[in-house]
Amino acid sequence: MNWSDFLSRRLAERRGTPLWRNRQAHQGADGRLLFTSNGQYLNFSSNDYLGLSRHPQIIAAWQRGADQYGVGSGSSGHVTGYTAAHHELEQQLAEWLGYSRALLFISGYAANQGVIAALMEKEDRIIADRLSHASLMEAAMHSSAQFRRFLHNDIDSLKQHLTKECVGKTLVVTEGIFSMDGDCAPLELLAQQTKSSNSWLMVDDAHGIGIHGEEGRGSCWEQNIKPEILIVTFGKAFGLSGAAVLCDGHTAEYMLQYARHLIYSTSMPPAQAVALSEAVRQIRAGEALRQSLQNNIHYFRHEAQHLPFSLMDSRTAIQPLVVGDNEHCIALSEQLRQKNLWVKGILPPTVPVGSARLRITLTASHTRQDIDALLEALHEPGY
């Protein structure tokens, strides 16, 4: 088969199905609004949970960083891409989150790939919650280690896997807050299991960091555990992008030697690190923003009880409404868009087959009136 036939065949398999993926270029967005050439929408699909993507002090910090360092880092951190700004941010993150070390990665995807690829060897095994993010699942699938999934948030299912013999090391993987369901992992119970089985726990807290726990320290802090590997990402509550791995000194030294995503990739721009340092300060002092978000979550859940959808068991900013059928989900998302409400439909394989959903995300920037507009549209007959 030639290349063109291959591409045509694979595209034909998808074209015209609800699984066809589209991107739409827009003219700007934040945690509340999204602007396109067709007008302004209320944005209920952003992960900018605290509205920090447009925070004036964070923007000013990025500009200061660009003035001092230029706009790019110039190389991998192992060559000349590691600046005082990166070093300071790593120290600040480690101190805030109670770890010896933090290592910066350019994205959460890269961090998850890099850590799992570096740590896991052939005789080892990875046991992951079956709803873990694609970046974790894919890293596990590509690893030479054995890969098993346990039932979502089900400790007995994890225990069953752990009782099986493994000659190598075991890494148990979960998200702190699940990105598509919005529910929280039972971290304390998971940590008990990993401790008693001499395994390690890796928690990806992309959706918990900045939001949960004292000073926004995240789901692990809130549930009073300290996993051996904590992943925090900066594309959500921080309003920027990038990620960090929190770990002990020994593990950090190992990563610096073996994590290929660190060694062979240009580090994040130093100006971004300066902006992220300011974002950490804003998050730590951001109790009022966290409170606004919590108020919006409570209000939405209270008022949404009478919607023709059942709410999921989520007390977080992610409030999905499961529609089930793919085409129906796409149609609902489109109907909401006609009313200037931006709510992305999420379809398999991102979520399990038969559970297509409107993934509503609430932020600190939404007003009561914004939420009322969404609820009113969702109440309309036909849904």
Ligand X SMILES: Cc1ncc(COP(=O)(O)O)c(C=O)c1O
User: Residues comprising the binding site?
Assistant: 21, 108-109, 133, 179, 207, 233, 350
Residue among 133, 161, 261, 366 flagged as catalytic? 133
Our answer to whether residue 183 is catalytic in this structure is no
Our answer to whether residue 181 is catalytic in this structure is no
Our answer to whether residue 175 is catalytic in this structure is yes
* Stated length of the chain: 383
Minimum distance of ligand X from residue 110's CB (angstroms)? 7
Q: How far is residue 58's CA from residue 8's CA, in Å, rounded to a whole number?
A: 45
Q: How far is residue 363's CA from residue 357's CA, in Å, rounded to a whole number?
A: 19
Among all residues, whose Cβ is closest to ligand X?
108
235 is an interface residue for ligand X by CB under 6 A: yes
Residue among 47, 153, 277, 296 flagged as catalytic? 47
183 is an interface residue for ligand X by CB under 6 A: no
361 is an interface residue for ligand X by CB under 6 A: no
Distances (CA, A) of 48 to 278, 289, 317: 16, 12, 10
Our answer to whether residue 339 is catalytic in this structure is no
Q: For residues 292 and 364, is the Cβ–Cβ distance under 8 A?
A: yes
Q: How far is residue 246's CA from residue 231's CA, in Å, rounded to a whole number?
A: 6
Which residues contribute to the annotated binding site for pyridoxal 5'-phosphate? 108-109, 179, 207, 233
Q: How far is residue 183's CA from residue 330's CA, in Å, rounded to a whole number?
A: 23
Residue among 212, 236, 261, 344 flagged as catalytic? 236
Our answer to whether residue 179 is catalytic in this structure is yes
108 is an interface residue for ligand X by CB under 6 A: yes
Q: Of 31-39, 57-65, 101-109, 293-301, which segment contacts ligand X by CB under 6 A? A: 101-109
- Among positions 83, 113, 143, 233, the unique one binding ligand X when judged by CB under 6 A: 233
Which C-beta is closer to ligand X: that of 205 or that of 370?
Answer: 205
- Among positions 179, 272, 292, 361, the unique one binding ligand X when judged by CB under 6 A: 179
Our answer to whether residue 157 is catalytic in this structure is no
Torsion sign across C-alpha atoms 376, 379, 381, 383: positive
239 is an interface residue for ligand X by CB under 6 A: no
175 is an interface residue for ligand X by CB under 6 A: yes
135 is an interface residue for ligand X by CB under 6 A: yes
The full DSSP string for 248-295 is -HHHHHHHHHH-HHHHTSBPPPHHHHHHHHHHHHHHHT-HHHHHHHHH
Our answer to whether residue 47 is catalytic in this structure is yes
For residue 230, give the amino acid letter. Answer: L
Q: How far is residue 179's CA from residue 206's CA, in Å, rounded to a whole number?
A: 8
Scan for tokens 């549930």, then name that residue.
Answer: 223
Q: For residues 183 and 198, is the Cβ–Cβ distance under 8 A?
A: no
The full DSSP string for 179-243 is TTT-PBP-HHHHHHHHHHTT-EEEEE-TTTTTTSSGGG--HHHHTT---SEEEEESSSTTSS--E
Which residues contribute to the annotated binding site for substrate? 21, 133, 350
CA 214, distance to chain mean position in Å, is 19
Which C-beta is closer to ligand X: that of 265 or that of 370?
Answer: 265
Minimum distance of ligand X from residue 248's CB (angstroms)? 22
270 is an interface residue for ligand X by CB under 6 A: no
139 is an interface residue for ligand X by CB under 6 A: no
Minimum distance of ligand X from residue 233's CB (angstroms)? 4
Q: Of 106-114, 222-230, 311-319, 330-338, which segment contacts ligand X by CB under 6 A? A: 106-114
Which C-beta is closer to ligand X: that of 347 or that of 377?
Answer: 347
3-state percent breakdown (helix, strand, coil) of the chain, nearest 5: 45, 20, 40
109 is an interface residue for ligand X by CB under 6 A: yes
Minimum distance of ligand X from residue 12's CB (angstroms)? 29
Residue among 55, 86, 161, 207 flagged as catalytic? 207
b vs e for 326-338, b when ≥16 Cβ sit within 10 Å of the residue's Cβ? Answer: beebbbbbebbbe
Q: Which amino acids are annotated catalytic?
A: 47, 133, 175, 179, 204, 207, 236
Binding site for ligand X (CB under 6 A): 107-109, 112, 133, 135, 175, 179, 204, 206, 233, 235, 241, 243
